[in-house]
Amino acid sequence: MKGVDNPEFHELLKSRFGIEDFPKDAPPFVPASRHRALTGLLASEHGYTLYDFLVASHWPAVVSKKEDDPGDPEHYEVTTGLRIPARGSKLAVWRVRVEIDGTMPSIVDLFAGADWQEREQFDLVGVRFSRHPDMRRIMLPEDWDGHPLRRDYAIDTPHPPWR
In the complex, what is the shortest distance from the CB of residue 54 to other proteins, in angstroms, rounded to a whole number?
A: 8
Residues that bind other proteins (CB under 8 A): 1-4, 25-27, 40, 43-44, 49-53, 55, 57, 79, 81, 85-89, 91, 93, 108-113, 115-117, 120, 124, 133-134, 137-141, 148-149, 153, 155
In the complex, what is the shortest distance from the CB of residue 17 to other proteins, in angstroms, rounded to a whole number?
A: 19
Closest among 44, 61, 29, 65 to 111, alpha carbons compared? 44
Phi, psi of 79 (to 5 degrees): -105, 130
In the complex, what is the shortest distance from the CB of residue 116 to other proteins, in angstroms, rounded to a whole number?
A: 5
Within a 10 A sphere around the Cβ of 63, how many other Cβ atoms?
10
Helix axes 35-45 and 7-17, enclosed angle (nearest 10): 120
- What Cα–Cα distance (Å) separates residue 53 from each residue in 29, 47, 145? 16, 16, 26
- The smaller minimum CB distance to other proteins, of residues 34 and 118, is found at 118
- The smaller minimum CB distance to other proteins, of residues 74 and 120, is found at 120
In the complex, what is the shortest distance from the CB of residue 43 to other proteins, in angstroms, rounded to a whole number?
A: 5
- The smaller minimum CB distance to other proteins, of residues 68 and 154, is found at 154
Alpha-carbon gap, residue 149 to 132, rounded angstroms: 21
